[in-house]
Structure 1
Amino acid sequence: MAPPGHSSRRGVDPEITKTMENAKNVKQVPQYGSINGSSSTDSCPTCKGTGRIPRGQQDQLLAVIPCNDVRLQPRRTKLYVCISMGLSILLCCLILFFFFPRSVTLTPVSVQSVMVYFTPDSVEMEVTNLFNMTNENFVPVQIAEFSMQGVVNEIVVGHSKITNMTAIESRSRKSYIVQIDLPLTDQGFNNYCKSTTIKIHTLFLKLQITMNISYLSHTEQLSQDVFEYIDCGNNSTIPHPVRS
C-alpha cells in the first residue's frame, strides 16, 4: 500500500495521459505569426499549432507559394504563346483561302447548229448553242436552274428552261449544249425567211441567259446577254463562234 501523499500512476486512464502530453506540446509551439513565441496572436488555424494537417481535410486547405517560386515562372512561355498565335492565324488563313467564294463564269463558245422548218404560218427554228461554265471555287457548284430567252428585233420569240443540269466540280470547267426553239410567227419574219430572191437570210439573235447556282450554303444568280447571227432560210450545221 502506497504511503499517504504518494500518487500512484496505477488506475490513470491512458487517454487522459495522452491528452495532457498533447496540450503540453501545444504550449511549447510558438503561436501563429510569431517567431520566438512572444507574440500575442492566435494559434495557427490550420494545424492548431501541432504542425500536422487534420486527416480528411487535405482537399480543403490552400498552399501558399512564394512569388519567386520557379513553378510560377514557366520556361518558354513567350515561345509557346507565339507558336499558338501563329498556328491560329495560319488556320484562319487556310479556311479563308479554301472557303472564300470565288467567281463562277458562263462563257458562250459557238452556235453548233440551226435547224429551220417552214410551216404555212410560221418559221420554226431549233438553235443549239455550246457554253462553257468555269468554277473557280474549291467546292462543287450546283446549278439549280438555267433559263434562256431568245429576242429578235426586240421581240421575244422563244424561251427555254433546264432544271436537271449536272453540277460543276471544284476548280474545273464544264461544257453544256443547250437548245432553244424559236418559232417566228410574225408575217414580216415569215416573208423574209421564205423569200427565194434573198440568198442569205440573216437574223440578229439576242439570247438573254439567267443561271441560278448554289454553293457554300448560299445562292447566286448569273446573267449574261449573248449576240449571234443565224440564217433563218437554210439549215446550218457548221459551228460558228458567238460573242457576249
Structure 2
Amino acid sequence: MGEKLSQFWKASAQKESEGKLILPRQKDAEDEIASYASINRGDPAMSCVPCVGIASRSCVNCPTCQGTGRIPREQEKQLVALIPYGDQRLKPRRTKLYVCLAVTICLLMTSLSIFFLFPRSITVLPAGLNASSIGFNATTTSICLNMTNVLNITNNNFYPVTVVQLDIEVLHQSLVIGKTTMKTLLNISPLQSGQIFYMVASRILDSNTYNICTWTKIKVHNVLLHIQGTLTCTYLCHSEQLAFENYQYVDCRGNATLPHPLHHRDRP
C-alpha cells in the first residue's frame, strides 16, 4: 500500500513539473502571436500591436499599420497584410459599368474608323467633246484635229482625293493618232465631283476619211474616235490608277466646233 502511494505522489509531481514547463511556453507563443495578429477587422490602422520586449532600435514602422504599430526588423519582408473578403476595397463601385463603357467606346471608335476610312470607288466618266478645230492638208490628204474634252470625276469617299496626272490616247481605226500627258493638281472634296479639261492634238493620215470630211455632197461628216485614258489619284498616302475609255463622234466638216453645254454632277 505504501509503495502505491509513493508511486502516485511521484506521478503527480512529474505532471506538475511538466505543466510548469509547458504552460509558460504556450503563454509566450500566444503573446508573440498576439503581437502580430489583427485585433480589429474593420480598421486597418488597428491591425497591428506594438511589439513587446524588443528594443525600439530593432523595430521599423509597419507598412500595413501606416506607422501606428511596430514589428521586428527581421520580420519586415515575411509578414503579409490580410484584407477581409467583405472589405469594400475588394469590390470597387461600378467596375462592370466602367469596363462595359470602355469596351463599347472602343468598338464604336473602331467601327466609325473603318466606316469612314474604308476605300470606296472613284468614278471617272467622260463628259464628251467641249470644242474642236479642224485643218486639212490637201498635199498629204491628212486632217489635223485639235479637241478639248471634259472628264467628270466623282469622289465617293469620306476623305479628299487629289488628281495628279492624266494620260490620254486617241485612236482612229485602231491607229493611235494623238497622245497627251497632263500634270495636274485637282483636289476633290469628300462626296463631291470635279471636272478636268484636256486638249489632244491629233493627225489623221487616211485618204478615205479626208474625202468624207471634204466632200460637200454629203451632209454628215463625222469621224469616230476611240479615247483611252488613265487617271492617277492619291489619297491617304496611297496612289491609284483609274482606266477609262470612250467613243465619240467629231464633226469634221466645219472649221470649228462650238463648246457644248456641260452637265455637272455635283453631289450635295
Paired AA for residue 101 in structure 1: P
| Aligned-partner SS, 1:213 | strand
Where does residue 102 of structure 1 map in the other structure? 120
Paired AA for residue 204 in structure 1: L
Closer/same/farther in 2, CA of residues 54 and 197 from structure 1, 3 Å limit: farther
Superposed CA RMSD: 3.2
CA distance in 2, matches of 1:91, 1:240: 45
| Aligned-partner SS, 2:130 | strand
The match for 2:190 among 152, 167, 170 is 170
CA distance in 2, matches of 1:32, 1:54: 16
CA distance in 2, matches of 1:229, 1:98: 41
Closer/same/farther in 2, CA of residues 34 and 204 from structure 1, 3 Å limit: same
Closer/same/farther in 2, CA of residues 181 and 54 from structure 1, 3 Å limit: farther
The match for 1:73 among 76, 91, 94 is 91
Q: Which moved more, 1:94-103 or 1:181-190?
A: 181-190
Where does residue 231 of structure 2 map in the other structure? 211
Closer/same/farther in 2, CA of residues 156 and 123 from structure 1, 3 Å limit: same
CA distance in 2, matches of 1:176, 1:110: 11
- Which segments of 5 or more consecutive residues in structure 2 lack a partner in the other structure? 1-26, 37-47, 65-75, 264-268
Q: Which structure has greater helix proportion? A: 2
Paired AA for residue 31 in structure 1: E
Paired AA for residue 72 in structure 1: L
CA distance in 2, matches of 1:190, 1:123: 7
Where does residue 89 of structure 1 map in the other structure? 107
Where does residue 19 of structure 2 map in the other structure? none
Where does residue 233 of structure 1 map in the other structure? 253
Shift in Å at residue 49 of structure 1? 4.4
| Aligned-partner SS, 2:60 | coil
| Aligned-partner SS, 2:210 | helix
Shift in Å at residue 86 of structure 1? 0.9
Count of aligned residue pairs for this structure pair: 207
Paired AA for residue 120 in structure 2: R
Q: Which moved more, 1:84-93 or 1:135-144?
A: 135-144
Paired AA for residue 229 in structure 1: Y
Per-residue deviation, residues 143-190 of structure 1 (Å, max 9, x unmatched)? 121111111111111111111232212221112211111111233333
Shift in Å at residue 97 of structure 1? 2.0
CA distance in 1, matches of 2:237, 2:243: 20
Where does residue 32 of structure 1 map in the other structure? 33
Q: Is contact 2:35-2:50 (8 Å) kept?
A: no
Shift in Å at residue 233 of structure 1? 2.5
Q: Is contact 2:35-2:49 (8 Å) kept?
A: no
CA distance in 1, matches of 2:87, 2:111: 40
- Report percent identity of matched pairs: 29
Q: Which moved more, 1:165-174 or 1:146-155?
A: 165-174
CA distance in 2, matches of 1:130, 1:145: 15
CA distance in 1, matches of 2:102, 2:169: 55
Q: Is contact 2:35-2:51 (8 Å) kept?
A: no
Where does residue 152 of structure 1 map in the other structure? 172
Q: Which moved more, 1:151-160 or 1:47-56?
A: 47-56
Q: Is contact 1:127-1:181 (8 Å) kept?
A: yes
Per-residue deviation, residues 63-87 of structure 1 (Å, max 9, x unmatched)? 3222222110112211111111111
Where does residue 64 of structure 1 map in the other structure? 82
Per-residue deviation, residues 39-77 of structure 1 (Å, max 9, x unmatched)? xxxxxxx99944999336749765322222211011221
Closer/same/farther in 2, CA of residues 188 and 70 from structure 1, 3 Å limit: same
Closer/same/farther in 2, CA of residues 57 and 186 from structure 1, 3 Å limit: farther
Is 2:211 aligned against 1:191? yes
CA distance in 2, matches of 1:138, 1:155: 40
